[in-house]
Chain A
Amino acid sequence: MTRIDFLHERKPAWDRFEQLIRRASGDHVQGLDENEHHELSEALRSIGHDLVHIRSERLGPALEEYVNDLVRRGHSVFYHSTPNRPAGFVRPLVVGFPRALRDNHVYFWAAAAVLVIPMIVSFGLVVSNPSLARRVLPEHTLIEMEATYVARGAPVSSETPKGGIEMTGYYLRNNISIALRCYALGIFAGVGTLYLLLANGIELGAVAGYVIARGHSDPFFAFVVSHSVIELSALAIAGAAGLVLGFAVIAPGYRLRREALAARGRDSFLLAGGASVLLVVAAVVEGFWSTATLPLAVKIAFAATSALGLSCYLLFAGRTVQRCE
Chain B
Amino acid sequence: MAEIRASVPTQNSDADFTSNHVWVETSDGISFKVRLAGPAPRAAAYGVDLVARIAILLVVALVGRAFPQLAASGWTTGMFLVVAFLLEWGYGAFFETWWRGQTPGKRVFGLRVVTVRCEPVGTFDAVTRNILRAADFTPFLYGAGLMSCLSTARMQRLGDLVAGTMVVHERSVTSSDGLSGLAAYDPLPTDSSPHGYQPSEPTLQAIEALFRRRLSLSPSRVDEIASSLAESLAAQLGEPETSQLASDRPAELLFRLLRRHRLGPASEAI
Interface on A for B, CB 8 Å cutoff? Answer: 2-4, 7-8, 11, 14-15, 18, 44-45, 48-49, 51-52, 55-56, 58, 60-69, 71-73, 75-76, 79-82, 84, 88-89, 161-170, 172-173, 176-177, 180-181, 183-188, 192, 245, 258, 261-262, 265-266, 268-269, 272-273
Q: Which single residue of chain B is at the shortest CB-CB distance from A168?
A: B78
Q: Which A residues lie within 8 Å of B80 (CB)?
A: 169
Is A173's CB under 8 angstroms from B81's CB? yes
Q: Which B residues lie within 8 Å of A18 (CB)?
A: 176
Q: How far apart are B79's CB and chain A's nearest CB, in angstroms? A: 7
Q: Which B residues lie within 8 Å of A170 (CB)?
A: 78, 81
Q: Which single residue of chain B is at the shortest CB-CB distance from A185?
A: B135
In whole angstroms, what is the CA distance A185 to B138 when docked? 9
Which B residues from 141 to 163 make CB contacts under 8 A with A? 144, 152, 156, 158, 161-163
- Interface pairs (7), CB distance under 8 Å: A51-B32, A52-B8, A56-B7, A163-B74, A169-B85, A187-B158, A262-B163
Is B177's CB under 8 angstroms from A63's CB? yes
The segment from B51-59, B201-209, B232-240, B247-255 found at the interface with A is B201-209
Q: Which B residues lie within 8 Å of A188 (CB)?
A: 135, 138, 144
Q: How far apart are A153's CB and chain B's nearest CB, in angstroms? A: 17
Q: How far apart are A257's CB and chain B's nearest CB, in angstroms? A: 8
Q: How far apart are A49's CB and chain B's nearest CB, in angstroms? A: 7
Contact with A along B123-144 (1 / 0, CB 8 A): 1100110011111001000001
Q: Which A residues lie within 8 Å of B261 (CB)?
A: 3
Q: Which B residues lie within 8 Å of A167 (CB)?
A: 74, 78
In whole angstroms, what is the CA distance A180 to B74 when docked? 26
Is A66's CB under 8 angstroms from B162's CB? no
Asked if B89 CB lies within 8 Å of chain A CBs, one says: yes
Tally inter-chain residue pairs, CB-CB below 8 A: 194
Asked if B26 CB lies within 8 Å of chain A CBs, one says: yes
A177-B158 contact given A61-B5, A165-B75, CB 8 Å threshold: no
Q: Which B residues lie within 8 Å of A60 (CB)?
A: 178-179, 204-205, 208, 262
A84-B122 contact given A164-B74, A187-B132, CB 8 Å threshold: yes
Is B175's CB under 8 angstroms from A66's CB? yes
Is A183's CB under 8 angstroms from B131's CB? yes
Q: Which B residues lie within 8 Å of A56 (CB)?
A: 7-8
Asked if B120 CB lies within 8 Å of chain A CBs, one says: yes
In whole angstroms, what is the CA distance A81 to B78 when docked? 38
Q: How far apart are B202's CB and chain A's nearest CB, in angstroms? A: 9
Contact with A along B155-194 (1 / 0, CB 8 A): 0101001111000000111011111000000000000000
Q: Which A residues lie within 8 Å of B176 (CB)?
A: 11, 14-15, 18, 66
A88-B77 contact given A8-B268, A268-B162, CB 8 Å threshold: no
Q: Which A residues lie within 8 Å of B75 (CB)?
A: 165-166
> 6 tightest CB-CB pairs across the interface, nearest first?
A166-B74, A169-B81, A62-B178, A165-B78, A66-B178, A4-B264
In whole angstroms, what is the CA distance A272 to B135 when docked? 14
Is B78's CB under 8 angstroms from A166's CB? yes
Q: Which of B123, B133, B172 contacts A73 (CB 8 A)?
A: B172
Residues of A contacting B: mostly: helix
Is A269's CB under 8 angstroms from B128's CB? yes
Q: How far apart are A143's CB and chain B's nearest CB, in angstroms? A: 23
In whole angstroms, what is the CA distance A245 to B128 when docked? 12
Asked if B119 CB lies within 8 Å of chain A CBs, one says: yes
Is A187's CB under 8 angstroms from B177's CB? no
Is A55's CB under 8 angstroms from B8's CB? yes
Q: Which A residues lie within 8 Å of B97 (CB)?
A: 84
Q: Which of A82, A161, A268 contacts B74 (CB 8 A)?
A: A161
Asked if B241 CB lies within 8 Å of chain A CBs, one says: no
Q: Which of B131, B156, B164, B262 contacts A272 (CB 8 A)?
A: B131
Is A161's CB under 8 angstroms from B88's CB? no
Apart from A3-B261, A7-B177, 5 more pairs, CB < 8 Å:
A62-B173, A66-B175, A80-B120, A162-B74, A169-B78
A48-B28 contact given A60-B262, A258-B152, CB 8 Å threshold: yes
Is A66's CB under 8 angstroms from B127's CB? no
In whole angstroms, what is the CA distance A186 to B89 when docked? 17
A185-B134 contact given A58-B201, A84-B97, A169-B79, CB 8 Å threshold: yes
A258-B161 contact given A166-B75, A181-B134, A185-B135, CB 8 Å threshold: yes
In whole angstroms, what is the CA distance A192 to B139 when docked? 11
Asked if B48 CB lies within 8 Å of chain A CBs, one says: no
Q: Which A residues lie within 8 Å of B263 (CB)?
A: 4, 7
In whole angstroms, what is the CA distance A15 to B114 when docked? 25
Is A75's CB under 8 angstroms from B89's CB? no
Is B161's CB under 8 angstroms from A66's CB? no
Is A165's CB under 8 angstroms from B74's CB? yes
User: Interface centre among B7, B24, B163, by most A CB within 10 Å?
Assistant: B7
Q: How far apart are B149's CB and chain A's nearest CB, in angstroms? A: 13
Contact with A along B3-36 (1 / 0, CB 8 A): 0010110000000000000001010101011100
Q: Which A residues lie within 8 Å of B245 (CB)?
A: none
Asked if B82 CB lies within 8 Å of chain A CBs, one says: yes
In whole angstroms, what is the CA distance A56 to B31 when docked? 13
Q: How far apart are A112's CB and chain B's nearest CB, in angstroms? A: 21
